[in-house]
């Protein structure tokens, strides 16, 4: 079995953003030389996540509205007593998860027809990274 690891770096211009990363992940899979296996994409920060879904602006808006209903920004989170102001970002990350595992088949990501990979930033405007680890034969 072989493995390949690469990192992606982000510093989003907005505090909250979805960044489509499918093409970059696909390039990494090809660079790895792995034909059959799995690709792990994991946000390495506690206020960011990884989402696989459709790249459709209406859905993106729905995602943000849904997350804001479940984990709204508010000033009275207990976490804010530490001097932080991003309690909602931590909760949003829990809702979307921090990583995904994707199949690699015949040397390419094996995604559904509408599936795209997104880096989900909930507390941006500072340096963060994502690890991509591809394992297989």
Contact 50, 92 (CB under 8 A): no
Whole-structure pTM value? 0.96
**Token digits for 5?**
């690891």
pLDDT (tens digit, 9 = 90+) per residue, 12-71? 999 999 999 999 999 999 999 999 999 999 999 999 999 999 999 999 999 999 999 999
Handedness of CA 79, 83, 88, 89 (dihedral sign): negative
The pLDDT of residue 118: 98
Residues 121 and 16: their CA atoms lie apart, in Å, by: 5
In the chain, where the domains are located: 2-136
Is the CATH code 2.60.120.460 the one for domain 2-136? yes
**Token digits for 95?**
């809702």
Contact 125, 14 (CB under 8 A): yes
**Token digits for 11?**
């510093």
Contact 123, 47 (CB under 8 A): yes
């Amino acid at each position: 079995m072989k493995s390949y690891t690469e990192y992606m770096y982000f510093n989003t211009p907005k505090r909250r953003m979805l960044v489509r990363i499918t093409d970059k992940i696909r390039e990494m899979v090809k660079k790895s030389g792995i034909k059959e296996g799995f690709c792990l994409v994991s946000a390495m920060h506690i206020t960011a996540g990884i989402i696989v879904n459709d790249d459709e602006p209406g859905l993106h808006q729905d995602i943000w509205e849904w997350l804001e209903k479940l984990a709204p920004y508010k000033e009275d989170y207990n976490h804010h007593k530490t001097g932080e102001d991003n309690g909602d970002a931590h909760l949003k990350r829990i809702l979307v998860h921090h990583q995904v595992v994707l199949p690699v088949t015949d040397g390419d990501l094996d995604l559904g027809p509408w599936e795209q990979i997104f880096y989900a930033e909930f507390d941006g405007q500072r340096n963060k990274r994502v690890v991509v680890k591809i394992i297989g034969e």
